[in-house]
Amino acid sequence: MPKSLAVLLLGSGGREHALAWKLAQSPSLAKLYAAPGNPGIAEEAEIVSLDVTDHGAVVTFCKLHAIDLVVIGPEAPLVDGLADTLRRDGIAVFGPDKAPAQLEGSKGFTKDLCTKAGIPTAAYERHHDREAALAALERFVLPVVVKADGLAAGKGVVIAWSEAEATDAIEHMFGGGFGAAGAEVVIEEYLNGEEASFFALTDGETVLPFGSAQDHKRAHEGDIGPNTGGMGAYSPARVLTPQLEARVMQEIVRPTVKALADAGIPYSGVLYAGLMLTEEGPKLIEYNARFGDPEAQVLMMRYEGDLAALLLAVAERRLAGIELPPFSSDVALTVVMAAEGYPGTPQTGGAITGLAEADATGAKVFQAGTARDPDGVLIASGGRVLAVTARGASVVEAQRNAYAAIAAIDFPTGFYRRDIGWREVARELNPAG
Please tell me the predicted confidence (pLDDT) of residue 433. 64
Measured distance CA(413)–CA(379) in Å, rounded: 10
Radius of gyration of the chain (CA): 21
pLDDT per residue of the chain (433 residues) written in tens, 0 to 9: 568 999 999 999 999 999 999 999 999 999 999 999 999 999 999 999 999 999 999 999 999 999 999 999 999 999 999 999 999 999 999 999 999 999 998 999 999 999 999 999 999 999 998 899 999 999 999 999 999 988 876 668 889 999 999 999 999 999 888 888 788 899 999 999 999 999 999 999 999 999 999 999 999 999 999 889 899 999 999 999 999 999 999 999 999 999 999 999 999 999 999 999 999 999 999 999 999 999 999 999 999 999 999 999 999 999 998 999 999 999 999 999 999 999 999 999 999 999 999 999 999 999 999 999 999 999 999 999 999 999 999 999 999 999 999 999 999 999 999 999 999 999 999 887 6
Q: CA torsion sign, 193 to 195 to 200 to 202?
A: positive
Please tell me the predicted confidence (pLDDT) of residue 1. 59
* Core vs surface per residue 213-245: b (16+ CB within 10 A) or e: bbbbbbbeeeeeeebbbbbbbbbbbebbeeebb
In the chain the first and final C-alpha atoms are separated, in Å, by 47
In this prediction the pTM is 0.95
Burial class for 250, CB neighbours closer than 10 Å (0-12, 13-18, 19+): exposed
